Amino acid sequence: MQPVIFGLEGEVLTERERALFRASNPAGYILFKRNISGEAQLRALTDSLRELSGRNDVPILIDQEGGRVARMQPPIWPAFPKAELFDRLYDVAPISAIEAARANARAIALMLHQAGINVNCLPLLDVRQPDAHDIIGDRALGAEPQRIAAMGQAVLDGMASAGVVGIIKHIPGHGRSFADSHLDLPVVDATAEELEIDLAPFIALHDAPMAMTAHIVYPAWDAARCASLSPLVIADIIRQRIGFDGLLMSDDLGMKALTGSFGERAEGVVRAGCDVALHCSGDFAEMEAIALALGEISDLAHLRLERAMASVVGADPLAGEDFATVTAKRDALLALVA
């Protein structure tokens, strides 16, 4: 198994993808809107990924946050609210906001489970800051670490109840960025003391099964390298200060915050301490280069992967409230801030 999560070109596996994935045995896969056209097609695709890997629990990821980040969209699937609404509800009724976040996350996970998707890139634990770039913006659960942690835990619990693993992101915090790492390399010039605010939700949820790094330079910790490529940030801040010991993946290797060949990018994040590299575009030449550059996944990373996927073993989506019930509960609570 190689320490990489790959995207796909289209709605079905091509023969050359099958050959590459058989040879490289990636740790998992991630799906995007380009891979999705209908319920039957999506389920057939996820079934084919499980069959190809030979692992029933192979991680199949998606970004289904709600709001402006949703790969499964209407009219086939329902729309889900942006995170900002739960933050607004928290101002009025904190316990209701936590319960609404849990119900919404369970609804998302029930939908994903039916499609054969078992990992969601949610929740964001980024602490929203005024005047920062809106790449985070209304995707954030708020600007106060305690409420972010409370609702973030509810999101993790709601998804786990339906058999879906959550990923906390963007560790160690993207909320202060004045640039979009998809397009540029952000530099956050906050002091180590100021950055304690950003760390707080991640510290509170340090036992989450998976986390995704931020492609951001924090000069207070490492002025030369972004977090995804920094052994200092990963070892000293993420692993020690935060105390995170779950599966750590990089953010997408295709973002313009990173430079160098795709093989160099993949080697760089793994060498820095990421358990797996994330490559989203489905570009076949890039995937070939990454597969050639990477060796086998480390024993520790493999253990973390197995532990993360085992965290939802035994979850029975049919044992709890169904989709209609949890969405009705969520909508009734969010009506308080409509």
What CATH number does residue 98 fall under? 3.20.20.300
Q: Is 251 a catalytic residue?
A: yes
**Model confidence pLDDT, tens digit, residues 194-205:** 999 999 999 999
Question: How far is the CA of 200 from the CAs of 74, 97, 195, 328, in angstroms?
Answer: 35, 20, 9, 32
Task: Show the domain range for 326.
Answer: 2-337
In one-letter notation, the amino acid at residue 93 is A
Residue 329, both tokens: 């509960």
Tens place of pLDDT for every residue, the chain, 338 residues?
999 999 999 999 999 999 999 999 999 999 999 999 999 999 999 999 999 999 999 999 999 999 999 999 999 999 999 999 999 999 999 999 999 999 999 999 999 999 999 999 999 999 999 888 888 999 999 999 999 999 999 999 999 999 999 999 999 999 998 767 887 899 999 999 999 999 999 999 999 999 999 999 999 999 999 999 999 999 999 999 999 999 999 999 999 999 999 999 999 999 999 999 999 999 999 999 999 999 999 999 999 999 999 999 989 998 999 999 999 999 999 999 97
> What is the per-residue pLDDT for 227?
97
At residue 251, what are phi and psi to the nearest 5 degrees?
-70, 180
Question: Which residue in 282, 214, 221, 225 sits closest to 248, CA to CA?
Answer: 214
Specify whether the CB–CB gap between 148 and 102 falls below 8 A.
no
- Candidates 63, 87, 251, 275; catalytic one: 251
174 is catalytic: no
Spell out the residues 6+ positions from residue 335 whose beta carbon is closer than 8 angstroms to its own: none
* Catalytic choice (47, 91, 134, 182): 182
26 is written with which tokens? 């990636």
Q: How many domains does the chain have?
A: 1
Q: How many CB atoms lie within 10 A of CB 4?
A: 27
For CA atoms 79, 106, 282, 16, give the dihedral sign.
negative
The model's pLDDT over 163-211, given as tens digits with 9 standing for 90+, comes to 999 999 999 999 998 767 887 899 999 999 999 999 999 999 999 999 9
Question: What is the rounded distance in angstroms from the CA atom of residue 317 to the CA atom of residue 167?
Answer: 19
Phi, psi of 249 (to 5 degrees): -115, 150
0.75 exceeded by pTM: yes
Which position has the token pair 């160098």?
260
